Structure 1
Amino acid sequence: MIKRTLITALLILSTYLIAVPLFLPTVQVEQHQLQENKIKAQNFIYNESDTIENVIVGSSLASRILTDSLDHFYNLSFSGLSTFEGLRILLKKEHLPKNIYIETNMILRGEDLEFTSSLFSPYTYYSQAYLPALRTGKEPLALVVETAQEIIKGGSDKKSITEKKTIRDSSQIVLAGNPLFKKVLAGHISNYSNKPDSIRLHKSMEKLKQLVESLKARNVNVVFFEMPVDSSLCGLPLFKVLRETVHQTFPKSKYPYIDQPACGEYITTDGLHLPRLDAIRYTNYFRNKIACHYCS
């Protein structure tokens, strides 16, 4: 009886490991933020094509950029994380993209070392490299539910995770004048009205400098950019000092920048994040600016 059960379990597992890559190669289901981040990271880590020439790294602010309309781009920005996780992942790759675009808004946010280490632990990395069905977002129950929903809808949703998230967030937009928006914005104003801790700022800059130098040593072009936020936040002490420190550490004479557009031209859902329509507008702005850098 036990032997039969084990054989049956092995047959089911083998069928699953073979069937998922064959019949559901692109279907991935994110059920929460961590899963979403891991799916995005794994899709980049296990991508062996040479079509990715440009990578964006950053926080949830930069994750709003819609790379579907940018040629040969991949957005390696993570919600709830910082710029550093994307840079760590990049440096693990054997073949690096030609250009890397670094968001500077959330450089002071602490790095989640556990996130990146979990992606490259030997067991996780090699098992998921050779068995795609074991990757995040391929859980059996979630796939069954997702496939059933797509059958009912009559077709697969081809939108990227980034675009799905941007569309989802746009439905949660809080317009200026709404009491909730005012409360959230007031919290941000309070947080960013003080200059950053000098020790924390120095450590963040030193870490970023080391990572950038490692990329430059491998002949990668590095471009810095700053996402637009609510106009009441742009000039606050924390953002101002951070902006000045980035420019001092990485002078414009040596590094290209995509300057932050006028913040007053954009609306946000919470003072920091762009809703879909403004994400599209910023993506267009971003695309026009990179035309004069390395992308041709």
Structure 2
Amino acid sequence: MIRCAGGAAMLLLACGLATARFGSALQQPAVTTRDGSLVTLNRYVREPTPDIVLVGSSVAWRLKEEYFSLPRIRNLALAGGSPVTSLEIIARQKRLPKIVLIETNVLTRLPDDALIEKFSGGADNDARFLRPVRTAVAAYETWNHTPPNPAEARAARDRLLGEPPSTFDNKVYLDRAVQQMNDEDPTVAARVNVARIKALIDEIERRGSRALLLENPFAAEIEESRMVRMSKAIVHTAFPDGGRWLPIHPPIGELRWADGVHLDERSALIVVRAIEGALAARGATPPRS
């Protein structure tokens, strides 16, 4: 056990050094996507339950927690994943957040059953053995991403908003994304995901939580793609009640996308502001701690 613990500590140290050296250059998880998901979900199940949780795909992953001015908010969106994965994990916990925001832009990926089982409240088959390692990972993550104080966070957000919109030419990436999304038929996966989302919403709302659906804006060309149009038709047919949706209205002319799908940092902050405004308008903002 001592050798095992020593080996785990060396592995964590190596990961930490690698993150410190190369992490700032990464815009979105690549080969470490699943590792990032493990850390994110591990933090969620071990820390106090927040007031608001956001679930979704890489589209919502870009809406960083530090962009929000609201306290006690967690982003459980999984890059390369389905919103159902995090939503099901939330539903299986003993305590629920007051509000769950569900991004519905990408519904073509099926839930990750292995992650759901790993982080479910009753899934303790490997908990005793892995607890020291998970605790070490969580401690390192907390140390490496210590949140700034409110004044620093507000100043950073103001600086980012004060910058002009990006002039990056994304045409090559946009054209590629449009072609891929025109080739993809989301029907089967979207219907499976929507049915599960519906059941999970019923379950968490019976326990006192509140679920709201939202759509992040895409570039106009992406909005017109086959995949997006078909996905929207499926999800809106399943959820026709306007009260179920959180409509956001960011200034589209101010938004920029690296590939037409994923917002850049400034644009993500603008969308976060729109989400917070929509929550306040709906009276869905929990009291500040």
The CA deviation string for residues 247-283 of structure 1, in whole angstroms up to 9 with x for no partner, is 2211234413234646553111122111211111111
Counterparts of 1:126 and 1:244, CA distance in 2: 45
1:186 correspondence with 2:175: yes
Structure 2 equivalent of residue 97 of structure 1: 97
The CA deviation string for residues 145-197 of structure 1, in whole angstroms up to 9 with x for no partner, is x9xxx9xxxxx65259xx9xxxxxxxxx99553xxx33322222122235735
Q: How does 1:1-296 map to 2 (within 5 A)?
A: 9=2, 32-47=32-47, 49-50=48-49, 52-68=50-66, 69-120=69-120, 121-129=123-131, 131=132, 133-135=133-135, 137=137, 158-159=146-147, 176-177=168-169, 181-193=170-182, 196-259=185-248, 261=250, 263-293=252-282, 294-296=284-286
Q: Once the two structures are aligned, what percentage of the paired residues are identical?
A: 19
Matched position secondary structure for 1:55: strand
Matched position secondary structure for 1:61: helix
Larger Rg: 1
Counterparts of 1:90 and 1:34, CA distance in 2: 18
Alpha-carbon distance change, 81 to 28 in structure 1, aligned in 2, over 3 angstroms: farther
Count how many residue pairs are aligned between Structure 1 and Structure 2: 249
Preserved contact between residue 248 and residue 275 of structure 2 (Cα < 8 Å): no
Alpha-carbon distance change, 12 to 92 in structure 1, aligned in 2, over 3 angstroms: closer
CA RMSD of aligned residues (A): 3.6
Matched position secondary structure for 2:281: coil
The CA deviation string for residues 57-115 of structure 1, in whole angstroms up to 9 with x for no partner, is 01111111132332221111111111011111101210101110000011222222122
Matched position secondary structure for 1:62: helix
Structure 1 residue 12 displacement after superposition = 6.9
Counterparts of 1:190 and 1:12, CA distance in 2: 48
Counterparts of 1:63 and 1:236, CA distance in 2: 21
Alpha-carbon distance change, 281 to 81 in structure 1, aligned in 2, over 3 angstroms: same
Counterparts of 1:136 and 1:237, CA distance in 2: 45
Matched position secondary structure for 1:137: helix
Q: Quick one: which amino acid aligns to residue 63 of structure 2?
A: I
Structure 1 residue 219 displacement after superposition = 2.0
Counterparts of 1:58 and 1:249, CA distance in 2: 18
Relative to the length of structure 2, the TM-score reads: 0.72
Counterparts of 2:18 and 2:207, CA distance in 1: 35
Q: Quick one: which amino acid aligns to residue 234 of structure 2?
A: T
Preserved contact between residue 212 and residue 244 of structure 2 (Cα < 8 Å): yes
